[in-house]
Amino acid sequence: MGFLYYGNNSYAVEIDDRPLAHLKVVLLSLLRAGKSAAFCFDRSTDIGSGRETLWISPSTELRFRFNGNRAPRINEQWLQLIAATADAPTGLRLVAEPVEVPILLRSAG
C-alpha cells in the first residue's frame, strides 16, 4: 500500500502501489499541462466509508509514497482510461485496470 499526500497538512490517501503509480503519471501529466482536476475516491470502511473529493491544481502540494521497491510496469490503456475520467462531471477516478491484449507478431512467411 502506498500513499498520496495532499496539501500542506499532508492529508494521506491510502492507495495500492500499482494504481497509485498510474494515478501519479496521470496527475503529473495534467499538472504539467497547467490543468486542475477533482480527484474522487471511495473511503475505506476503516476510516468511516463514504466518498471524498480532492481539488488538485498546479499549486497543490502532492507527494507519492510507495511501499514496494520496484516501480510497476505501466499499462498505457489504463493511463488513457484514468485520464479520460478527468474531463467527466464526476471527476478524476481510478477505474478498473483493463487486461492488456498483447500484439502478436506475424512471422514472415
Dump pLDDT digits (tens) for 30-81: 999 999 999 999 887 777 778 999 999 999 999 999 998 888 999 999 999 9
**Which pLDDT does position 33 carry in this prediction?**
97
Q: Is the pLDDT of residue 109 over 60?
A: no
What is the Cα 65 distance to its own chain's centre? 13
Question: Which residues, including other chains, have CB under 8 Å from residue 15's CB and lie 6 or more apart?
Answer: 1, 2, 3, 4, 23, 41, 94
Can you list the positions of beta strands (E) in the chain? 2-6, 11-15, 37-42, 51-56, 62-65
**Which pLDDT does position 101 carry in this prediction?**
67
Domain of residue 11 covers 2-85
- Is residue 81 a part of any domain in this protein? yes
Tell me the three state secondary structure of residue 41: strand
Q: Is the dihedral of CA 71, 12, 29, 31 positive or negative?
A: negative
**Adjacent-strand bridge partners of 62:** 6
Specify the number of domains making up the chain: 1
Above pLDDT 70, what percent of the chain? 91
pTM: 0.86
- Is residue 109 a part of any domain in this protein? no
Kindly report the average pLDDT of the chain as a whole number: 90
- Is residue 104 a part of any domain in this protein? no
Q: Average pLDDT for residues 10-33, to the nearest whole number?
A: 95
- Is residue 25 a part of any domain in this protein? yes
What is the rounded CA–CA span in Å between residue 26 and residue 79? 6
Q: Is the pLDDT of residue 103 over 90?
A: no
